[in-house]
Every structure is written in structure tokens, then in C-alpha cells.
Amino acid sequence: MDEKEPFGERQAARRSFLGRLGTAVAGGAAAVAASVLPPEPTRAAADAPAIPAIPGYDWSKHHWAFGVDATKCIGCLRCVEACKAENEVGADAHHFRTWVERYVYLDGEDSARVDSQADPVNIEASGSEGRYRFANRYKDAKVDKAFFVPKLCNHCTHPACVQVCPTGATFKTDDGVVVIDHTYCIGCQYCVQACPYGARFFNPKLNVTDKCTWCYHRITKGLLPACVEVCPVGARIFGDRKDKDSPISKFIANNRVAVLKPETGNAPNVFYVGIDKEVS
Amino acid sequence: MPKHVLRLILLLVGLGVVAIAARTFLVDKSFYEYGHYRGNAVAEIAQDKPKFQGAAYCRSCHAAQFAEWSKGVHDSADIGKVVKCEVCHGPGGGRDPQHGYINAATGPIHPDNLKLAIPSDTRALCTLCHEQMPGRPLQQAQIVIEDHAGTQQCTLCHNPHSPRTIVGSLAAPEHPGDAAAGRDKADQCSGCHGAEGVGAGLPGPTLAGQNEAYLAAALKSYKRGARSNPMMSPIAADLGDRDIQDIAAYFASLKCEGPPNAAERVAAAHKAGASVCANCHGANGIARDRSAPNLVGQSKDYLSDALKAYASGARPHVVMSALAKGMSDADAEKSAAYYASASCK
């Protein structure tokens, strides 16, 4: 014990020295930074809050949200084709900003068989990778229960994908849309891994990550997202939650809505009606 | 100050200068304007031009088609079912393919340098929504295309802009016929069609309970020569428009009703290959649409002769000619036999 005392004192002295050094360096750096860096432009400091230069659009007046009524979906996949056309996602069967899943419970089976438009059987039925239709593969089977579920980015309130982005290329706008700045995206795909919903994909043509934007270029012009525009049965609902009369506000008020994987804490903003226990 | 401490401080200051320089010169000026991202990116993403133009845009040139559509079942906003123009015809706006992908400006919008598709294979198009498939909600109209249409295109019978409008439908008569007056004028018909309009065992088809509009149209076709028959043509030539309406009203008022449209009857129709016929003529031979005649009470010979006349072109009809040509002789015989079994007595 006696032999270790001097060592202990030396250790304490080194710790206090490092502490003082750290304080001095931080203080010096702060002083240098304060003199060199321009002041951070903050919206709170400005007289009028700055908004992005989108003609005729003020993002502080909107809070967008999406609804899916799966009880109405007929699986026609017009939304998927419209999204690809509107956003030039590429006419292949591997990259989708939105997609539709089919859940089929056959007689005597406990779990659902799930397929989407990208399933090889369905691609064969459509005859092309750029056109989509569900093959009638269960027409002769004994089906206990079956339904379609449209899926897309949930534009979460606490998006994990935004949190992990190392370059600030993906972010949530003030009106509630998660988008990607393709000029800042380095294609690391960390966000693809982070998304619990599989809503993001890597675009090999552009070497960036891509995802649903709720057609931000349309909604900021007063139009509906392309998938909502073409849905022939009203299974997709879109609107402004700040407007109590908007379709989405009424949809949420008049239905018991659910979100996918609430346990992940992402707080999705796509609200579902008519999904089942296996849909996540 | 010891040398190694001085070196450490210089190194840290150097790193700080590099960091500040990078922050000042490399990072976009709008970064952190609204948060940890490039503020200008928001407006860049929003500047992209929409491709789908909406039905109102189409209306500006295609007013007639728009009017048909907006009155039809494909524009039923009250039940949330609206099939807009661009669902079937594709988006009106196109992008310039040379312009790249990121925030590309829109290329020419229809009609500039761009024609929209007029779908030709309606069997493939319409079944995207209307094919009978597990998982589709019950309220969605669904068909098995082979049973419903044989090998024909949907547009043979349906107006695609307003599908409940059947091609070749008959207009309502100008004057409602008078059945009592028609009874006197119909004396000459009884020889072949029976005194009560039931032609069982007689050369002519059963007319009792037939659709009034169909009867009037048939007489008018004989009169103007669109249909010809050694007996009917000269008789019809002597009838005035008023006589035709009255006679049609008289025979329509007589009774000839088939058995109820029970499930086994529908199944039998499918077995006989008559499920296509049932779309218009009903599974029990009572027509679903007034443009089509009732088949109940007709003889097998009369029905198969009619099918042959349609197939050969002797009796042209917009829907029946194509359907009859697509039927095999065996199917035609079976269908005729099936409907001949639907007695109305």
C-alpha cells in the first residue's frame, strides 16, 4: 500500500493537468471561433421567419399527413405505376417509393402468405418489369382471408433515417415531409439500414438513396401526391392536419387509425385503417 | 513551455483553423438555415414540375369524353370511386429525358410532341381493377373475363368512359305505345307468333313479355331493310311508326316470365357456355338491359338460326356479330339449347 501512494498522487496531478489543459484549449477555441465564424443565422433572431423560396407556399402553414384505408384497396397497382412515372424511379421491379402488399391466409394455415408487385410470379403476369399487376395466383385456392395493403414512407415525427445521416442530406421539413437532398447524399445507405419500414432504397443509376417525398413538388403547388391522384377507389388519403376539414383530418377523426411498428418510437405519419395482426 | 506541449497546442490550433476554413468555404451557405441540412434543398426539391395534370386539364380539349365520364360510374365521388383520365391514359406531362433526374424540369406536356395512349387491349386494362381476385373488397365489381366476355374486348359492349353505358343501347321511344290499340293491329301476327304471343311450335319466335324497345327496334329494322325475312319484311313495310309502337307495347304487356334466376340456373348457364350471353340476356333468359331481347320461351332452332345469322353477317349487330363469330358451333348449339330450356309457360 505504501508503495502505491506516490503513484496515486502522480495520477491525480496528471488528471488535474489534463483537465486544466482541456479547459484552456476549449476556451481558446471558443474565442477564436467567436471572432472568425459569422453569426449562425437563426430564424428566431430574424424579424420575419425565413421560409424556403417556394412560390406561393409557406411551409409553416401546413402539416402534411397520409392515410391508407386498406379495406378499400383493390390491388390494381395504379399508384405504383403513377409514382414511378411521376418521380422517374426507373421502370424495374426492384426499386419502389411506394408498393402494395397482398396478404393471403389459406385454409388451414396460421400465417399469411405475403407478396408484392415485385414478386416474380406477378412480374410474369404483368409481362414487363415496368408494368405491374397482381397475378390471380390464389383463384383456385381455398382462401380464408385476403387483403391488400399499400405501403410507403411513413414520414415519421422522429425519423431514425434522418438521425443516422452523416452529411445532413436527409431531413424533415417544417411541414412534416422527410426528403433527401441528392446533392449532399453520399450513398452510404446508412439510412436504408436505419428505416424500420424498408421505405428507402439505393438508386444505382444515380448512386444516391431515394425515397417517397409525398410528391413534395406537387403538394407545394396545391396538388395531391401522384398515388393519391390516381387511386380509383379512394384507398389513399392525403391532406393537411392543420386544416380540420381536410380529408386526412376527417379520416383520422372518423376512424380508429393505427400506425405501423409504433414500438420503434419513430411516430409514423401514415395512418392505417383495416390492417391485420401480421401487417407491420 | 516544454517543447512537446507547444507542439500539441500548435497542432490543435492548426486543426481548428482547417475546420473553420472548411466550414466557411466548403459548406453551403444555406446549411443550418433551418436545421442540419442545406436550406436551399427544400425549394430545389419543390421546383420539380408535376406530371399528372388532373382531369380538369383534359377537359379543356376533350369536353365530350369528359362529359360522358363525369356522368358515368367511373366518376362516383359520392362513393369515393373516381377513375380519372390519367389512370388509363397515362400522365399528361412528360419529362425531357436529357434533363437528368435531379429536380428536372418537366418536358413537353400533352399535346405538345406527345400523344397519350389509347389502350387497345381493354381485356388487360379493365381487369387490373375488375378481375375477380381474392383480397378485393366485395363492393368492387369483379368478373371472370372468360365467363363474362369470352374472347372479346370489353369495349365491344362497354363505353370505357362510362362503362354502365352499353354500346348499341336503344333510345326511349318518342311516343309510348298503346297496348289496347296494339291488340287490334296484332291480329296478323298470331299466325306465326301465337294468339298470346307465345310461338311454341309455330314458325315465329315468342313475343309475349318481350322488351318493348327491342320489339319496336326489330320491326323498324325490317321496315328499313336492315333485317330481312320473307314474312316479316313485307308486313313491316306496311306499318307506320305509331303502329309499330302500339304492337310492341301490346306484346310487351303479355305474360311470359321465366323461372327465378336461381343459383343452379346460373351454374347451368356457365356449364352450357352461355355465361357471356347471360351478361345481357340474363341467366334465365330475361334480359338485364332493355337493349337486349328476352330469350325465354324461344325455340332452340330459332335461337341457333339467329346466332348463325349474326355470325354470317346476314343480321349485323354491333355486339352480337362479334360474339357469334367468336363462338364455336358446338358452343352456339349448347347456348341455344340452354336458353330453349327456359320455358315461360
Tens of pLDDT, residue by residue over B198-250, are 877 788 898 988 888 888 888 988 988 888 889 999 999 999 888 998 999 99
Taking the domains of chain A in order of start, what are their residue ranges?
Answer: 59-156+213-273, 160-210
Mean pLDDT of all residues in B152-157:
90
Nearest C-alpha in B relative to A220: B46
A229/B86 CB distance under 8 A = yes
Compute φ and ψ for B78, nearest 5 degrees: -65, -30
What pLDDT does B326 receive? 86
First to last CA, chain A: 61
What pLDDT does A130 receive? 87
C-alpha–C-alpha distance, residues B184 and B196, integer Å: 13
What pLDDT does A261 receive? 96
SS3 B80: coil
Q: Please name which of A138, A108, A105, A107 lies closest in space to residue A121, comparing C-alpha atoms.
A: A138
C-alpha–C-alpha distance, residues B227 and B315, integer Å: 6
Q: Please name which of B139, B148, B124 lies closest in space to residue B280, comparing C-alpha atoms.
A: B148
Q: Please name which of B223, B216, B221, B222 lies closest in space to residue B242, comparing C-alpha atoms.
A: B216
Mean pLDDT of all residues in B301-320:
89
In this structure, the strands spanning A98-106 and B75-76 are unpaired
The fraction of chain B above a pLDDT of 70, given in percent, is 92
Domains of chain B: 55-109 (no CATH), 122-166 (no CATH), 179-340 (1.10.760.10)
In terms of phi and psi (left: phi > 0; alpha: psi -120 to 50; beta: otherwise), the region of B135 is left
In sequence order, which residues have a C-beta less than 8 Å from that of residue B233 and are 6 or more positions away?
B222, B225, B227
How many Å lie between the alpha carbon of A4 and the closest alpha carbon of chain B? 28
Considering only CB atoms, which chain B residues are within 8 Å of A131?
none
The amino acid at residue B321 is S
Helices within chain A (DSSP H only):
4-36, 78-87, 120-126, 160-164, 190-194, 216-219, 226-230, 247-254
Per the model's pLDDT, the better-predicted residue between B106 and A43 turns out to be: B106
Q: Which of A230, A236, A251, A273 to mutate to test the interface with B (most CBs of B within 10 A)?
A: A230
* Cβ atoms of B123 and B154 closer than 8 Å: yes
The reply to whether A59-156+213-273 and A160-210 are identical in fold is yes
Q: DSSP class of residue A190?
A: H
What pLDDT does A38 receive? 52
What pLDDT does A34 receive? 55
Q: Please name which of A236, A182, A258, A214 lies closest in space to residue A62, comparing C-alpha atoms.
A: A214
Mean pLDDT of all residues in B292-319:
89
**B99: pLDDT strictly greater than 60:** no
Rounded to 5°, the CA angle B106-B109-B114 comes to 120
What pLDDT does A1 receive? 43
Q: A160-210 — its CATH code? A: 3.30.70.20
C-alpha–C-alpha distance, residues A62 and B48, integer Å: 19
Instruction: Look up residue A200 and give its three cell numbers.
Output: 428507402
How many Å lie between the alpha carbon of A261 and the closest alpha carbon of chain B? 23
Q: What is the pTM of this model?
A: 0.80
* Cβ atoms of A96 and A120 closer than 8 Å: no
Q: What is the mean pLDDT of chain B?
A: 87
Nearest C-alpha in B relative to A46: B33
A72/B80 CB distance under 8 A = yes
In sequence order, which residues have a C-beta less than 8 Å from that of residue B5 and are 6 or more positions away?
none
Rounded to 5°, the CA angle B22-A177-A84 comes to 100
Minimal Cβ distance to B46: which of A86, A171, A216: A216
What pLDDT does A122 receive? 95
C-alpha–C-alpha distance, residues B285 and B143, integer Å: 20
In sequence order, which residues have a C-beta less than 8 Å from that of residue B218 and are 6 or more positions away?
B227, B293
What pLDDT does A2 receive? 46
**B163: pLDDT strictly greater than 60:** yes
The amino acid at residue B29 is K
What pLDDT does A29 receive? 60
- Strand arrangement, sheet containing A98-106: A113-116, A98-106, A143-152
User: In the A/B pair of chains, how many CB contacts fall below 8 A?
Assistant: 166
Burial track B92-122 (b if 16+ CB lie within 10 A, e otherwise): bbbbeeeeebebbeebebbeeeeebeebeeb
The reply to whether omega before B234 is within 30° of 0 (cis) is no
Name which of A95-99, A191-195, B11-15, B328-332 the model is least confident about.
Answer: B328-332
Burial track A173-195 (b if 16+ CB lie within 10 A, e otherwise): bbbbbbbbbbebbeeeebbbebb
**B296: pLDDT strictly greater than 90:** no
What pLDDT does B310 receive? 92
Class of domain A59-156+213-273: alpha beta
**B98: pLDDT strictly greater than 60:** no
Name which of B34-48, B52-66, B147-161, B288-302 the model is least confident about.
Answer: B288-302
pLDDT of A171-218, one tens digit each? 999 999 999 999 999 999 999 999 999 999 999 888 999 999 999 999
Considering only CB atoms, which chain A residues are within 8 Å of B95?
88
pLDDT tier for residue B174 given thresholds of 50, 70 and 90: low
- Residues in chain A, pLDDT under 50: 1-4, 43-46
Q: How far, in whole angstroms, is CA B14 from its chain's centroid?
A: 75
